[in-house]
Structure 1
């Protein structure tokens, strides 16, 4: 007759494999990088993956991060993981960090988390891993839900720890911490205990040690499964809103380049249902500054007030994204990357100054008076004056700009032209555009429009030149 621990072990493994399949957390033949602290959760994660590695044809790698925050305990954690990993067939990497250097408004625990995920991503690349698996359990998810609820979070925060996000997967979210420890005890597997988890100086520990037991005692029932179910529902709502936000943005045409300046129509954003509008703002902020922490509710609301207002102004979504309203456009940009928009009339003959120095000079003359060969681009161009419809305007680029460059078979996005000509991303917003009533005539220094080229029958020439001073 099988022992209780063996039966329990088989049951845990069966549920573990079912979770991997149902939520597409790992597929046969993949390489999985395990986050290994040495605690009960990560030890169970390692043993469960090792138990299915042969059947699933998995290659297992592991990363242990030693923050050296707990003296000899940190060293013991590292020694434990170094001994465990090779026994389970896990290729282990160990990284030791210096002082964590918490950022403004960031706790030591938040700084450790940020560093840990950054190191996991680095190790994923080195190990050529398909997935990064962490040992978060149902208890971790519930604690996170309640922490976020106390902060007034929306569906994303209340969805708590997602089962997967990008390459990161959490296969133990269907297991309680007590189940994990019983499983390890049943198979006689030791694990490390982090004594700081028993200190009530941290909000998460207060929830674990005081709030949840007290609430369950008052209500007379366990709350872990109902709260975990609520987190699943809220995570699904968040996923739906994210998909709808991305779909809405895809229907808005050319928004700009991710990591650079993005622009949307303010009135269209303001007309969306509020929940969807908030998600659109979050998605735009993430596209502009992927490494920036998610903007707070107050910052998102400030951006939506800017979208619904009649005037201009600025708002900040965080350290990596500034929002500016220009007419009916909201421009999302990294700080300092997007110069103030400009627009200036260019008289003929005459000149117009450019922001940051330089000027553009224009004059016209008869073709018969032309001296020298036709300029081949650069800072001086000739246009067929009869194909130009005044007024002439110099301006900064706008989202959706497109034209047919000289010699091109058809129209091209301005953004694509700038990329093709290898204009640095930081300089693209500063390239002046010359346009007439029909659209772009000259992307200064780069290309003129096919429609305004000088042809054999051209009678008068419009010469436009950029002068650096």
Structure 2
């Protein structure tokens, strides 16, 4: 009906002898819609008599493209969103490869699958996720008790009470070999390297300062380490509090240790006593992928 003016519609009704009602509230300027209809649109028509036709065509194009994007987003979500035990899991690599427009749609669909609606979910919430999701440990609480958390390999969404601690199985690590980190299908590896590229999930240490064997495990009571740059050791619990690490995720953070000390709080910090210095001869890279 948008392509037909009010005059044409009334003309048609009169030609058919069809009676109609006029809503008197439509002429009251107290409503914004009436000001648009009665004040703005006549000015647009005066400036461009064909504005209604142009507007109608543009809206039709937008509707067609919206249908296409919805279909594309639905297909993407069916492949990308994995829901188990009330938590939606989004693979980080696949998500990162999407165009920003599709990322927004995927996030909204994931939130909808948790909440059942999108009430109070605003543009700023989605943009905050898009800005920070590459940062390990990123956490955001959304209206309606929805929690978003970025772990080692995925972005997880679910009700706040659905997230439960998942401890890391204690394992001995041989240099040059990989160890699977269930249940998120990521793995840990260590290797001697000549050049090192560091990130939150890849660090390099002075191999000669390490006392093998290497062990990966979850935290335990009394854990201490010496954060990079610190003068003394610090309780791991205090470190996690200072870093604002959510309580539910603290047991699932990987610790790498040798016979004497914690070497790496994976995703956060290495130990000062294992750092690379000018005299370092061998570099050991620890990485989670």
Q: Give the structure-1-normalised TM-score.
A: 0.33
Among 83, 104, 110, the residue aligned to 1:256: 83
What are structure 2's unaligned runs of at least 5 residues?
171-178, 186-289
Which structure carries more relative contact order (alpha carbon 8 Å, separation 6+)? Answer: 2
- Equivalence for 2:117: 291
Q: Distance in 2 between matches of 1:250 and 1:261?
A: 15
Q: Which runs of 5+ in 1 are unaligned?
A: 1-136, 139-173, 348-390, 400-469
2:23 to 175, 188, 194: 194
- Residue 154 of structure 2 aligns with which residue? 329
- Deviation of the 1:249 alpha carbon: 2.5
SS in 1 for 2:167: strand
CA-CA distance at 1:202 after TM superposition: 2.6
Shift of 1:346: 7.7
**Partner Cα distance (1:324, 1:184) in 2:** 58
Task: Check conservation: 1:270, 1:307, Cα contact below 8 A.
Answer: no
Deviation at 1:187, TM superposition (A): 2.1
Which whole-Å deviations, capped at 9, do the CAs of 1:81-113 have from their partners, x for residues lacking one? xxxxxxxxxxxxxxxxxxxxxxxxxxxxxxxxx
The 1:271–1:308 alpha-carbon spacing in structure 2 relative to 1, beyond 3 Å, is farther
Q: Kindly indicate whether the alpha-carbon contact (under 8 Å) linking 1:286 and 1:294 is maintained by their aligned counterparts in 2.
A: no
Deviation at 1:206, TM superposition (A): 2.0
Give 1:175 shift: 4.0
> What is the CA-CA distance between 1:191 and the residue it aligns to?
2.5
Determine if contact 1:278/1:300 at 8 Å carries over to the other structure: yes
The verdict on how the C-alpha distance between 1:236 and 1:315 changes in structure 2, with shifts beyond 3 A counting, is farther
- Higher-helix-fraction structure: 1
1:226 deviates by 0.9
Correspondence list, 1:104-143, <5 A: 137-138=1-2
Aligned to 1:265: 91
- The 2-side partners of 1:268 and 1:299 are apart by 21
Q: What secondary structure, in the 3-state scheme, does the structure 1 residue paired with 2:74 have?
A: helix
CA drift of 1:293 comes to 4.1
- Name which of 123, 128, 134 aligns with 1:308: 134
Q: CA deviation at 1:329?
A: 1.9
Task: Classify the secondary structure of the residue corresponding to 1:308.
Answer: coil
How large is the RMSD of aligned CA atoms in angstroms?
A: 3.5
Whole-Å separation in 2 of the counterparts to 1:180 and 1:319:
45
Distance 1:294 1:233 in 2: 29
* Offset of residue 294 of structure 1: 8.2
2:38 match: 209
Alignment of 1:358-377 (within 5 A): none
How many residue pairs end up in the alignment? 177
Pair 1:342-2:171 in alignment:
no
Which of 106, 117, 127 is equivalent to 1:280? 106
Residues 1:195 and 1:327: Cα distance change in structure 2 (over 3 Å)? farther
Deviations 1:242-284 (A, max 9, x none): 22222223333x61169x4322023432332112212222232
Aligned-pair distance for 1:295? 3.9
Relative distance call for 1:244 and 1:322 in structure 2 (3 A) is: same
* Distance verdict in 2 for CA 1:294–1:207, change over 3 Å: farther
